[in-house]
Structure 1
């Protein structure tokens, strides 16, 4: 029993290590993004979406590898640059730094809560999936019929809450279920998606508040 616990702790640490490497690679991608022509951002965003769909499609076979995760996070960093650049221009670099610090703090707190909670939170999966689909639908709706600042503020706040809960949920599921070696890349990718989406929503939220002042 003790050997299993030690192995699980080792796998958990490996997931976190892969997640941190993913963030670093995304940061490199963010830096590279400033040199990418704007016309290339849409094809890269489309590729990012295809990779996400592919990841969820093949997740049952647990065949998502490290190369897949690192390529995805690099592209994700590139496509995040226009968002960061936009809010730097309208609200200032301090808002971006505050958004990152807030994201890191929330990620740490919700991760700890999820990891120490003894109750299995798998019952949240349906609610979170429905909430995620609602966010996607509203995002698509916003493209064709832009929300006003109040609607966008509420949307950003709800998105921040949803991905905060996703962080707690994903950490809890790693605790509740045995982590195998082949699952590590996919679990790290889940954490990365939680982090980058939470960061985007918080940045949007703070950007709106700052620009309305």
Structure 2
């Protein structure tokens, strides 16, 4: 194995943590340089941001994005994503309060950790069989989000968030299982081979966080 990769699974979680950090750096950058007036239209930005994240998830899950590329591109993407998320996260911070947003973030971390541990304890490739079901769910989420732009139904919004949490939770099981399978199959030999896996896990994490915040917001109202 390439000297860069001594413990692929540990490295993936390390790079994932760095990616999430870059997202928050992007958020801080947005706070410093994006006018507060942008925050006031967060409700208008939300559907298009969610659609963008879903399309990105679809592209990555279907390997339309190359499977091996520099980790720097992942960091660049997550930094830009943090900037784009600034109005939405600011909206939630103002509407829900800092403590609730932090608790949602901690809850997402705990859920992610539990699901990753469950998948890691299983045999490599154990959850790969649910991939087609999850992908169909991902397409359904995209369509539901587009439909709700025109309908504006609170019920559909809640349904979307619940399904989103379930589907991306399933994808954590799937992605960790795939990573373990790729490691045991010898498909990960350099740092760049980890990039698509880190990107997938980042998208799982962020989508669950946004769905959880949206769910809390809907029930708070």
TM-score over 0.5 for the pair? yes
Structure in which a larger fraction of residues adopt helix: 1
Q: Which residue of 1 aligns with 2:197?
A: 187
Out of 8-17 and 120-129, give the one that drifted further: 8-17
136, 152, 168: which one aligns with 1:130? 136
How far residue 63 of structure 1 moved from its aligned partner, in angstroms, is 3.3
Gaps of 5+ in 1: none
How far residue 16 of structure 1 moved from its aligned partner, in angstroms, is 1.2
Alignment of 1:95 onto 2:105: no
Aligned residue-pair number: 201
Alignment of 1:80 onto 2:85: yes
16, 19, 41: which one aligns with 1:22? 19
157, 160, 163: which one aligns with 2:162? 157
How far residue 54 of structure 1 moved from its aligned partner, in angstroms, is 7.1
Q: Which residue of 2 aligns with 1:70?
A: 75
2-side partners of 1:165 and 1:21: how far apart? 23
- How well do the aligned residues superpose, as a CA RMSD in angstroms? 2.8
1-side partners of 2:85 and 2:78: how far apart? 10
How far residue 180 of structure 1 moved from its aligned partner, in angstroms, is 2.8
Alignment of 1:116 onto 2:121: yes
- Contact kept, 8 Å, 1:95 with 1:207, in 2: the verdict is no
- Contact kept, 8 Å, 2:22 with 2:82, in 1: the verdict is yes
Gaps of 5+ in 2: none
**Runs of 4+ in structure 1 over 6 Å off:** none
What TM-score do the two structures reach when normalised by structure 2? 0.81
